[in-house]
């Protein structure tokens, strides 16, 4: 007892030291981090002392690099015309005053009038006067703007405008299209009509021809006048000042001249915002589904041994009668080329009261044990295989073998959720938003939810974990029940052999008698077609009376588009049988389940379970009553009846109603049971339970009430608690708990040190009984990259992780060398796991909490790097996290270079700018590394080019499509010092012979219907932006409809071919663009 208490307090003292001094470091890491030259919060590079610059390849004579900072900034002029690039650069430049100074130097040398001169930027919208001419934004009065429309964090599209006063005139037709307002702008009639947000909010705008008469606007029947200097009708749109837009729509339209943004801030949600949030909710609900990997897969091999990740909780309690110390520990790590899972718990009376060990190996490729094709092997304390129509057993010592699909959580009629968790945690289990069960993890450190009924379609299970120190965690899993879960006629097997009611080290399982016998279980499933499967199996075990029984189940599953039908029978080879029919269906979002069961009188699953049930029938209806943004109502109604062989009839009805909002949840369950016994009065039981949870900014209030209505009205139990997060490190919870035996008040104070959570708990009841607890919870594991022991407050053991070292690869070999700088503050993102972390001073990011059997893309967030010209050598990778395993890797970062030049097109002996021409850079194996389009003046730029040797070419497909020829290709070499290769110019000529062949093949005559094919674009945004620019230059295009075709081709028409049409196409070609006249129908 003394030894255990000493261990407890020693652990507490060590953890407090960790909270004061940071995590433990090895001497090697300390030496590495001593070389830091600054300690700002942004990203940093650590250059160890006495570093030697590695030799770089000798530069080519043909490569021109920028030698001065001023020249370099000037070379970025075209790149900074891209608004998204300016935004990303501005986010980086805001990190430190050094970067802001560099940005200031850039802006002062750039010379482009459409980029603001002030680094601070403005969000101004004062109504301009007629005389006002504010140049503080860096833009000239009436200068054209191309603004990026943004709502919350969502970037929408570009909006045309021009500067006026301290704001901007915004094109209404363009704006309404971007924000999805069904308002039609009629330029000929100089008006706009429609509605916005909802059909009751009407809008009408009329702009008189007389330039002195104010315009009039009507909103919901209320009219306003608009001064003429705030509204203007131009050839391409009606322009209204941003400030007046804010007033009439009650929506904030703020112009940020620094980043060329139009920031939209609605007071009521726009329809597009609601769409974004619906999609976000769908994304959250589908979190349990495996996402396909987007990046190259990286294998994580098993090892003979690795130090486990460990979650520890220790507690010392004092009560009126006694005192006691206890602890529990969950650990996972590689052992014998498998995943070892450990649980150890004890107290003063028995230091090793609970000890479990499980060895498991999994493979999503089903390549274990050769021809057997297993996906899972487990030894030690296992969960025996469940068979259809039979209830599963508790964890026992044995082995398990399966070839089930690990990447999908699909079952037939029921599913289980089991796992290890530290004692004292409360768990709420929800199924499709309906509260099913609430449990508290006991000293065994194990939670089990078994035989959970599934509905047809999507089954979303959410487990909410509440820690004893106020922690809250969520786990969401999706289980599908439909024909898609059939494994394409593959035979699926699950086999287990275990010692009945026995654990590996502790012997007899609590509350279960030890039986000197083994349990064998085998389940099989074979799909016969896309909608029919058969299930069978075999299980044999000894009843408590010493008699062994063997069961054989057989089930037929038939899938319809909206339902699943099951017909099954279980035969006890030594006694009777059971027959069951079930139907699971879904209509709209509502589930309807029906089941019927008939049992022989001598059929039972154990001798102590005397079976008197003759037959039973039940049904369940559940689903959402109302569901909108921020508010949802769910319901569940189920009822059933059963009859025994001695004529006892039981009828039961349960009703559940739940309401959920972003801030609170409220649920109530009513249960009614009527038992009819022959020659005796009926027994009626009617009770209920209500739960309420309210979230405040820094508080959470939970209340629960249990009550009886029949046979007597009374309050059976109640509790209320208020959790308060007082600061980042301190939180507390006050609670009052009532039951028939006593009323108890409790207070908990938690101290979160980032490395551990220390909690003190005091409670007293009305019987003068008191208790006091002091507990400590923390996790630790070894970082394989540095060898350090990492200590954290969050659980590590049951999930996988990554340890990534980020460094500047000076010699471009992809391998970390001692003289290469480490990068601090770089953000590592686990995309599908929705987790991220940053590198520390050691240059290492330690990311844990990655769920198993879910392939996760991992990459470095380029925007988190301090140097805007740093990029990782690889885009990232995907891997399959494994509990207790930390994947270790290096991420080399290099200084990217740029390639730039000009494209010219020769047409009829004239040199014209090569506008919007597709160029590519190829590696040594002719793989396309990057692709870009030239600008309106023929200039092109490849940015963020990784060091290497490249070929620069015009895209062959573009040359072929536009009948162009090029006589030269170029070579370029990018070094690791930010090389800028200039002068890679191209001159294209028209393939007149090919054009003549096309014309001869399809002669056109005046009067026939034709299309105007304006070429193929890199993206739909480029296509839309070019069309907008063309309509501003060529008024004839405004009335032509767009023909929707694939591959981002821009085709307008149909139009009657006239000499004017031909001249229009010639004018477009003269501007360096493509324009081809084709007969009507050829592009359909």
Q: Decide: 435 and 691 in contact? Cβ < 8 Å.
A: yes
Angle at which helices 97-110 and 83-93 cross, to 10°:
140
**With pLDDT > 70 as the criterion, what percentage of the chain qualifies?**
80
Backbone angles phi, psi at 13, to 5 degrees: -65, -40
| Upper half-sphere CA count for residue 616 (Cβ side, 13 Å) | 20
Q: How many whole angstroms separate alpha carbon 874 and alpha carbon 861?
A: 12
pLDDT at 136 over 50: no
Average pLDDT over residues 684-700: 89
- Average confidence (pLDDT) over 1017-1025: 71
Answer yes or no: is pLDDT of 35 > 60. Answer: no
Q: Domains in the chain, start-ordered, CATH in brackets?
A: 69-268 (no CATH), 897-990 (2.60.40.10), 1002-1079 (3.30.70.1070)
- In this prediction, residue 92 carries a pLDDT of 39
Q: Give the residue-averaged pLDDT of 689-693.
A: 92
- Taking the CB of residue 861, how many other CB atoms lie within 10 A of it? 13
Amino acid 279: pLDDT? 56
Q: How many residues does the chain have?
A: 1084
Please, are residues 642 and 666 in contact by the beta-carbon 8 Å criterion?
A: no
- Higher-confidence residue of 918 and 1046: namely 918
The CA distance from 504 to 357, in Å, is: 7
Question: Residue 57 pLDDT > 50, yes or no?
Answer: no
Could you give the dihedral angle defined by the CA atoms of residues 818, 819, 821 and 822, in that order, rounded to the nearest 10 degrees?
10
Task: Work out the percent of the chain whose per-residue pLDDT is above 90.
Answer: 30
Q: What value does the mean pLDDT of the chain take?
A: 79
Do 144 and 1033 touch, CB atoms closer than 8 A? Answer: no
Contact 445/422 with Cβ under 8 angstroms?
yes
Structure tokens belonging to residue 50 = 């006495």
| 1040 contacts: CB under 8 Å, gap ≥ 6 | 1012, 1052, 1053, 1055
pLDDT at 272: 81
Q: What is the mean pLDDT of residues 1038-1054?
A: 80
pLDDT at 111: 35
As a whole number, mean pLDDT of residues 952-975 equals: 87
At residue 504, the pLDDT reads 84
User: What confidence category does residue 1071 fall into, taking pLDDT thresholds of 50, 70 and 90?
Assistant: low
For residue 283, pLDDT over 70 is answered with no
At which residue do the structure tokens 């101004």 appear? 124
- Tokens standing for residue 902: 């000009």
**Confidence at 715, pLDDT banded by 50, 70, 90:** very high
pLDDT for the residue numbered 508:
53
| pLDDT score, position 680 | 85
Structure tokens at 520: 């064998």
Residue 692 has pLDDT above 90, yes or no: yes
pLDDT in tens, 509-519: 555 666 788 99
1054 preceded by a cis bond (ω within 30 of 0): yes
Nearest to 198 by CA among 128, 249, 259, 253: 249
pTM over 0.75: no
The mean pLDDT of 587-601, rounded to a whole number, is 89
Least confident of 390-394, 537-541, 933-937: 390-394
Q: What CA dihedral angle connects 84, 89, 93 and 99, to 10 degrees?
A: -160
**What is the per-residue pLDDT across 450-472, written as a single tens digit (0 to 9) for each?**
777 787 777 788 888 877 656 67
The highest-confidence range among 290-294, 723-727, 883-887, by mean pLDDT, is: 883-887
pLDDT confidence of residue 408 = 63
| Mean pLDDT within 755-771 | 90
Q: What is the pLDDT of residue 554?
A: 94
What average pLDDT score do residues 592-604 get?
91
- Cβ–Cβ < 8 Å for 387, 521: yes
Q: What are phi and psi of 467, to 5 degrees?
A: -80, 160
- Region 563-574: what's the mean pLDDT? 92
Q: Which has the higher per-residue pLDDT, 376 or 850?
A: 376
Q: Could you identify the residue written with the tokens 């990311």?
A: 847
pLDDT band, very low/low/confident/very high, at 412 (cuts 50, 70, 90): low
* Beta-bridge partners for 965: 989
pLDDT digits (tens, 9 = 90+) for 809-822: 999 999 999 899 99
pLDDT band, very low/low/confident/very high, at 737 (cuts 50, 70, 90)? very high
The pLDDT value recorded for residue 858 is 93
Q: How far is CA 230 from the centre of its chain?
A: 44
Residue 506 pLDDT? 67
Give the pLDDT confidence score for residue 70 in this predicted structure: 34
Provide the token pair at 176: 């309404």
Out of 30-39, 172-181, 323-332, 784-793, least confident range: 30-39
The answer for residues whose C-beta is within 8 angstroms of residue 416's C-beta and 6 or more apart is 383, 386, 392, 448, 449, 450, 451, 452
Q: Where are the alpha helices (DSSP H) in 754-795?
A: none
Residue 433's region, left for phi above 0, alpha for psi from -120 to 50, else beta, is left
More confident residue, 629 or 231: 231
pLDDT at 376: 94
User: Residue 49 — pLDDT band, cuts 50, 70, 90?
Assistant: very low
Please answer whether residues 334 and 359 qualify as being in contact, where contact means their C-beta atoms are separated by less than 8 angstroms.
no
> What tens digit of pLDDT does each residue of 152-190 get?
877 777 788 888 888 899 999 888 888 888 888 888 889
In this prediction, residue 486 carries a pLDDT of 59
Cross-strand bridge partners of residue 888: 803
Does residue 409 surpass a pLDDT of 80? no
Instruction: Residue 256: name the closest of 94, 182, 147, 346 by CA.
Output: 147
Q: Are 620 and 637 in contact (CB under 8 A)?
A: yes
Task: Report the C-alpha gap between 1072 and 1026 in whole angstroms.
Answer: 13
Token pair 């005046």 is at which residue? 1006
Specify the pairing of strand 918-922 against strand 948-954. Answer: antiparallel
Return the pLDDT at 999.
41
At 182 the pLDDT is 83
What is the H or E stretch that residue 538 is in? strand 532-542
Asked whether the predicted pLDDT for residue 998 surpasses 80, the reply is no
Q: What pLDDT is attached to residue 430?
A: 84
List the single range of 128-142, 483-497, 533-547 with lowest mean pLDDT. Answer: 128-142
Q: What pLDDT, on a 0 to 100 scale, did the predictor assign at position 719?
A: 94
| Lowest-pLDDT range of 161-170, 272-281, 881-890 | 272-281
Q: What is the pLDDT of residue 859?
A: 92
Among the ranges given (206-220, 469-483, 976-990, 1064-1078), the one the predictor scored with the smallest mean pLDDT: 469-483
pLDDT at residue 1, rounded to an integer? 44
Cα–Cα distance for residue pair 666/112, rounded to 1 Å: 59
- Which two tokens mark 943? 């940015």
Distance CA 634, CA 432 (A): 8
Q: Are 728 and 708 in contact (CB under 8 A)?
A: no
Q: What is the pLDDT of residues 904-915, one digit of tens each?
A: 988 777 788 888
Identify the weakest region by mean pLDDT among 70-84, 637-651, 654-668.
70-84
């Amino acid at each position: 007892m003394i030894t255990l208490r000493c261990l407890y307090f020693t652990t507490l003292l060590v953890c407090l030291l960790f909270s004061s001094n940071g995590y433990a470091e090895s001497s090697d890491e300390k030496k590495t981090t001593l070389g830091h030259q600054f300690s700002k919060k942004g990203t940093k590079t650590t250059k160890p002392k006495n570093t030697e610059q590695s030799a770089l390849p000798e530069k080519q004579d043909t490569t021109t690099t920028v030698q001065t900072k001023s020249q370099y900034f000037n070379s970025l002029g075209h790149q900074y015309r891209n608004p998204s690039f300016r935004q990303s650069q501005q986010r980086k430049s805001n990190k430190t005053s050094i970067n802001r100074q560099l940005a200031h130097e850039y802006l002062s040398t750039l010379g482009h009038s459409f980029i603001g001169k002030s680094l601070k930027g403005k969000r101004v919208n004062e109504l301009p006067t007629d005389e006002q001419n504010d140049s503080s934004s860096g833009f000239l009065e009436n200068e054209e703007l191309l603004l990026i429309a943004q709502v919350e964090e969502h970037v929408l599209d570009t909006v045309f405008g021009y500067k006026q006063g301290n704001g901007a005139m915004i094109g209404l037709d363009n704006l309404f299209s971007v924000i999805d307002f069904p308002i039609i702008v009629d330029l000929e009639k100089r008006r706009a009509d429609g509605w916005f947000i909802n059909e009751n909010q009407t809008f009408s705008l009329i702009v008189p021809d007389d330039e002195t008469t104010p315009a009039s606007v009507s909103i919901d029947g209320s009219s306003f006048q608009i001064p003429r200097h705030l509204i203007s009708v131009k050839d391409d749109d009606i322009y209204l000042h941003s400030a007046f837009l804010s007033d009439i729509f009650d929506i904030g339209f703020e112009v940020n001249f620094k980043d060329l943004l139009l920031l939209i801030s609605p007071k009521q949600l726009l329809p597009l915002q609601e769409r974004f949030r619906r999609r976000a909710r769908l994304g959250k609900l589908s979190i349990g589904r495996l996402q396909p990997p987007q990046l190259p897969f990286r294998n994580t091999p098993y090892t003979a041994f690795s130090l486990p990740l460990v979650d520890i909780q220790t507690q010392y309690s004092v009560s009126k009668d006694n005192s006691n110390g206890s602890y529990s520990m969950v650990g996972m790590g590689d052992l014998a080329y498998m995943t070892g899972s450990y649980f150890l718990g004890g107290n003063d009376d028995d230091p090793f009261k609970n000890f479990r060990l499980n060895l498991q190996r999994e493979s999503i490729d089903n390549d274990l044990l050769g021809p057997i094709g297993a996906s899972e092997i487990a030894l030690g304390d296992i969960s025996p295989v469940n068979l259809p129509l039979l209830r599963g057993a508790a964890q026992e010592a044995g082995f398990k073998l399966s070839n089930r699909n690990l990447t999908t959580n699909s079952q037939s009629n029921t599913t289980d959720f089991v796992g290890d968790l530290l004692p004292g945690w409360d768990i709420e289990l929800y199924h499709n938003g309906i509260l099913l069960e609430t449990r508290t993890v006991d000293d065994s450190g194990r939670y089990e939810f078994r035989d959970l009924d599934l509905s047809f379609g999507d089954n979303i299970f959410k487990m909410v974990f509440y820690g004893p120190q106020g922690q809250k965690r969520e786990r969401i899993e999706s289980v599908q029940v439909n024909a898609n879960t059939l494994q394409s006629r593959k035979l699926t097997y699950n086999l287990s052999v275990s010692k009945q009611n026995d654990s590996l080290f502790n012997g007899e399982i609590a509350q279960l008698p030890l039986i000197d016998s083994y349990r064998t279980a085998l389940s099989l499933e074979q799909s016969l077609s896309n909608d029919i499967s058969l299930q069978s199996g075999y299980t044999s075990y000894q009843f408590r009376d010493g008699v062994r029984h063997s069961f054989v189940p057989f089930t037929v599953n038939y899938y319809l588009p909206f339902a699943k039908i099951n017909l099954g029978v279980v035969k006890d080879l030594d006694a009777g049988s059971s027959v069951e029919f079930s139907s699971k269906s879904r209509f709209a979002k509502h589930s309807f389940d029906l089941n019927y069961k008939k049992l022989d009188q001598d059929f039972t699953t154990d001798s102590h379970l005397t079976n008197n049930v003759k037959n039973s029938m039940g049904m369940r209806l559940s689903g959402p009553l109302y569901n909108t943004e921020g508010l949802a109502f769910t319901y569940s109604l189920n009822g059933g009846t059963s009859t025994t062989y001695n004529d006892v009839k039981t009828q039961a009805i349960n009703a559940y109603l739940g309401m959920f909002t972003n801030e609170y949840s409220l649920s109530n369950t009513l249960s009614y049971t009527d038992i009819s016994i022959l020659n005796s009065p009926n027994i009626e039981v009617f009770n209920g339970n209500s739960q309420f949870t309210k979230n405040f900014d820094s508080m959470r209030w939970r209340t629960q009430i249990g009550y009886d209505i029949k046979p007597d009205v009374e309050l059976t139990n109640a509790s209320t608690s208020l959790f308060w997060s007082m600061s980042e490190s301190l939180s507390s919870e006050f609670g009052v708990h009532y039951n028939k035996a006593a009323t108890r008040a409790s207070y908990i104070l938690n101290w979160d040190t980032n490395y551990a959570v220390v909690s003190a708990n005091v409670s007293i009841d009305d019987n003068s009984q008191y208790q006091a607890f002091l507990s400590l919870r923390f996790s630790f594991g070894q970082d394989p990259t540095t060898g350090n022991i990492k200590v954290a407050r969050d659980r590590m053991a049951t999930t996988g992780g990554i340890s990534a070292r980020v460094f500047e690869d000076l010699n471009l070999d992809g391998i970390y060398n001692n003289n290469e700088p480490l990068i601090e503050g770089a953000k590592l993102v686990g995309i599908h796991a929705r987790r991220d972390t940053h590198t520390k001073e050691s240059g290492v990011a330690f990311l844990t909490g990655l769920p198993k059997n879910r392939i996760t893309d991992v990459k470095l967030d380029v925007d988190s790097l301090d140097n805007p010209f740093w990029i990782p050598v690889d885009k990232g990778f995907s891997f399959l996290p494994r509990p207790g395993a930390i994947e270790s890797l290096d991420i080399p970062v290099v200084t990217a270079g740029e390639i730039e030049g000009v494209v010219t097109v020769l047409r009829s002996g004239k040199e014209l700018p090569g506008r919007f021409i597709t160029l590519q850079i190829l590696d040594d194996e002719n793989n396309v590394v990057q692709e870009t389009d030239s600008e309106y003046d023929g200039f092109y730029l490849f940015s963020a080019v990784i060091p290497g040797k490249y070929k620069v070419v015009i895209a062959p497909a573009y040359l072929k499509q536009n009948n162009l020829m090029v006589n030269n290709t170029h070579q370029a070499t990018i070094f690791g010092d930010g090389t800028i290769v200039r002068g890679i110019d191209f001159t294209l000529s028209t393939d007149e012979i090919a054009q003549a062949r096309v014309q001869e093949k399809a002669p056109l005559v005046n009067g026939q219907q034709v299309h105007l094919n304006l070429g193929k674009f890199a993206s739909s945004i480029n296509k839309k932006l070019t069309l907008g620019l063309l309509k501003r230059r060529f008024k004839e295009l405004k009335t032509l409809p767009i023909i929707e075709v694939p591959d981002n081709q821009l085709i307008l028409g149909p139009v009657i071919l006239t000499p004017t049409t031909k001249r229009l196409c010639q004018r477009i070609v003269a501007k360096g663009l493509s324009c081809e006249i084709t007969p009507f129908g050829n592009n359909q």
